[in-house]
Chain A
Amino acid sequence: MRSGRLHAPYADLAQQGHAARLGMWVVIASEILLFSALFALYAGYRMAEPDVIRAGARRTSLGLGTTMTYILVTSSFFVAMGVAALRRGVRRACVAWLLAAAASGVVFLGLKATEYHEHLAHGLAPGSHFAAADPTGGGLGLFFALYYVATGLHALHVLAGVIVLAILALGVWRGRWDAAYTAPVELGGLYWHLVDAIWLFLWPLFYLLR
């Protein structure tokens, strides 16, 4: 066991890892509640203006959105395989899985940026610039304001996740974390799965239900 890993007040690494996982689930719970505010707003909009929300969803790219869903699900699998590899002590494989997941995240962000660029090219910018491109007299702005906030907040989480995965891959590569202490990699993995799970709800709401 490398020294310096075990911190007070824990008796051993297993106990410390258990406490860390518990803490991560508290973070996950607060993230779920953060996004639930946006989901509540969506539910209210959808009840009040169902046709406006449908019209807005028709303006997003179903092809890009669906592709991004497959990419995130796949990257989640990569991370799960990376954690499994580290638990078996195969550090090199773990690094490869983590980097593959981070690369998937970068591709996701690239597609998201492409989509934003397309929206802006069609005049679907948020705020006061919106009205000029909106044949519904401001109704679509309702959808797109929420769309930009929800997908933008999620994209920030993806960006943070990519950075975390890269740091974890580097740490595993250097031997900072190994089979004796997998908790840091597991926590990063939990965060990435959360980001994936949130997108699983954003995708139908903003792309499919048109």
Chain B
Amino acid sequence: MTREPDHRRLLGTFVALLVLTSATWGLSTLPLGSFQVAVALAIALAKATLVALFFMHLAEAPRVFGPLLAVPLALVVIFVGLTAADVATRGATPGRADASQEPLRAARLDGSRAPPPPLRQ
């Protein structure tokens, strides 16, 4: 295998992807709380960007390819962001009459087969 600039760039991208994958796994074991989701998704985004730029050659593609990817990505942010914001700012899950039961249900999520707790009146 000859060591051409293209090869070096692909190999560098590959190594970076492996490092970032390991970093994602390592960070997931740390108690980051609510930052955990943000950190994991930020690294995933960084990896996908590397794949798009160098494996998919977007870095050397004509300018017209940029908006073609940027527009759907912006739409994804809108779809996912608005869905999350909508659900987060409602008091209860749609279809659930009584939001006060939520903590009771969540408390049984450890896998135990505890009897259902009494409903709050």
Residues of A within 8 A of B (CB): 18, 21-22, 25-26, 28-30, 32-33, 36-37, 39-41, 43-44, 46-49, 51-52, 54-55, 66, 69-70, 73-74, 76-77, 79-81, 84, 87-88, 93, 135-137, 139, 186, 189-190, 193-194, 196-197, 200-201, 203-204, 208-210
Contact = CB atoms under 8 A, between A and B. Distances in A.
A208 B40 contact: yes
B28 A139 contact: no
Most buried by A among B7, B51, B61: B51
A79 B56 CA distance: 10
B56 A193 contact: yes
A33 B116 contact: no
Q: Which 6 A-B pairs have the closest CB atoms?
A: A204-B40, A43-B84, A77-B14, A29-B72, A47-B87, A51-B106
Nearest to A76: B55
Interface of B: 1, 4, 6-7, 10-11, 13-14, 17-18, 21, 24-25, 28, 36-37, 40-41, 43-44, 47-48, 51-52, 54-57, 61-62, 64-65, 68-69, 71-73, 75-76, 79-81, 83-84, 86-88, 93, 105-106, 108-113, 116
A81 B6 CA distance: 9
Nearest to B36: A209
